[in-house]
Structure 1
Amino acid sequence: MLRSFLLLLCLPFTLAAETVMDPARDRVIPVETHQPPNTDNCSTTALCPVALLSAGYGVSHTEYQFLVKTLNQAGYLVITVGHELATDPPLSVEGNLYETRAENWQRGADTLVFIRDYFKPKFTTFDFEHILLIGHSNGGDISAWLINHGAKFANHIITLDHRRVPLPRSLDVKVLSIRASDFPADKGVLPSRAEKQKYQDCVVTIANAKHNDMTDDGPSWLTEKIAQILAGHLAGKPCLENEKVKGQ
């Protein structure tokens, strides 16, 4: 936690923490908005990019500052979203998880739609029609679920070791999935070799990386490696041939 606080002190962007109310669902949603350090080039005729960041289950939406910093440096407005409330049912751990967790993913997808609609008129120089969805673990599942169920405003997804919901298979959606090494994804979640070639998807596995360490509280070598992969992807660099990259 101390490391996360120190990271926050060093970041060059504008931060606003708040809660917003979705009246249709009577749901309070914790969020943070992080503006990039330079918005001078953003205008209604030259919109700057937007990312909605979803945390892993049981992890605060404030625990991904290493991702926020990288996205901000690439010019993104980043909105981090807290999906889990104390009144929500626990995430299912039994049965067919694709079925039993659907209510959680749909609730999260509804939250992202609301957040997009809520903030769009507040940030008129940012592009809410071509959003990047990024999420760790269950946050990645929520992001994939939303795109798979027809969200037209998201054309880019980045997941950190999500394991349950299949990634979009579409030429219209850019895909990067950064994988840990300790747990496999469910069958069909990740694209096959042929699908990666067809859709130009990128899947990168970090050797020695652990699923639960992909937060600010993880080891610095891992957060730095993830940030490096993310920055390269955002800059348009070629995928690392979907091979394992060296970790620690």
Structure 2
Amino acid sequence: MLSAGYGVSHTKYAFLSKQLNQLGYMVIAIGHELENDPPLSVSGNLYETRSENWIRGAETLDFIKHSLASTYQNYNFNDLLLIGHSNGGDISSWLANAGKDYIDTVITLDHRRVPLPRRKDINVLSIRGSDYPADDGVLPLKKEAKEYSMCVKEIPESRHNDMTDYGPKWLKDEINRVIDNFLNGSSCRVNS
């Protein structure tokens, strides 16, 4: 399940959808915003003020999982890959932290607010841009990354807002390469 970033259409991640399709995944691209939703807050404690949005997004993912599992019986809905950009990565991390046992892998593209899951039963990759830092506690400490086999990769000279179809080809290619290597069990190094 691919969760779009805030203000970006769920249709603007075709480079990811095509890559995941080639790797054998069915991709369900989700836009989490409705026209009548309040805008995301930009002041105060953003973890607190945005949590309602992440809760709704996680509930949406859970609903879609349960709704589609009976329709698409040839796909495994008990070992899901959640992938999300920015706010979509926060939503994916929120759901993974909720203790759901049907999540196998979480991949985030430069999410910044919700801590990555620290669970041995979930594979975690976070691809980082180089223009905005994540909030404290979002990314694992080196010790945690090793303990939980989490992979965090910064792509030098990449920008948060370019991690969509609007971004440069070199960045989309590099994101896809890192994801491909991670999902195929190869090294998680950005430049090999």
TM-score by length of 2: 0.97
Partner residue of 1:143 out of 57, 67, 92: 92
- Match among 77, 99, 104 for residue 155 of structure 1: 104
2:153 counterpart (198, 204, 208): 204
Matches within 5 A, 1:8-27: none
| Counterpart AA for 2:110 | D
| Residue number in structure 2 paired with 1:172 | 121
Corresponding residue for residue 18 of structure 2: 69
Q: Any idea what the Cα deviations from partners look like across 1:170-224, whole Å, max 9, x if unmatched?
A: 1111000000000000000000111111111101100000000000010111111
Q: How does 1:1-248 map to 2 (within 5 A)?
A: 52-240=1-189, 245=191
C-alpha displacement of 1:73? 0.7
Structure 2 stretches lacking a partner, 5+ long: none
Q: Which amino acid aligns with 1:105?
A: W
Q: Which amino acid aligns with 2:181?
A: G
Question: Which structure's CA Rg is the greater one?
Answer: 1
Gaps of 5+ in 1: 1-51
Larger strand percent? 1
Distance 2:30 2:64 in 1: 8
Letter in 1 for 2:59: D
TM-score (norm 1): 0.76
The question of whether the paired residues in 2 share the 8 Å contact of 1:167 and 1:190 is answered with yes
Query: How many aligned positions are there?
Result: 192
CA offset digits 1:105-149 (Å, max 9, x no partner): 001001101111111111101100110100000000000001112
In the alignment, the residues of structure 2 paired with residue 168 and residue 152 of structure 1 have an alpha-carbon distance, to the nearest angstrom, of 12
Mapped partners of 2:154, 2:115: distance in 1: 17
Identity, in percent, stands at 58
Q: CA deviation at 1:245?
A: 4.4
1-side partners of 2:94 and 2:191: how far apart? 27
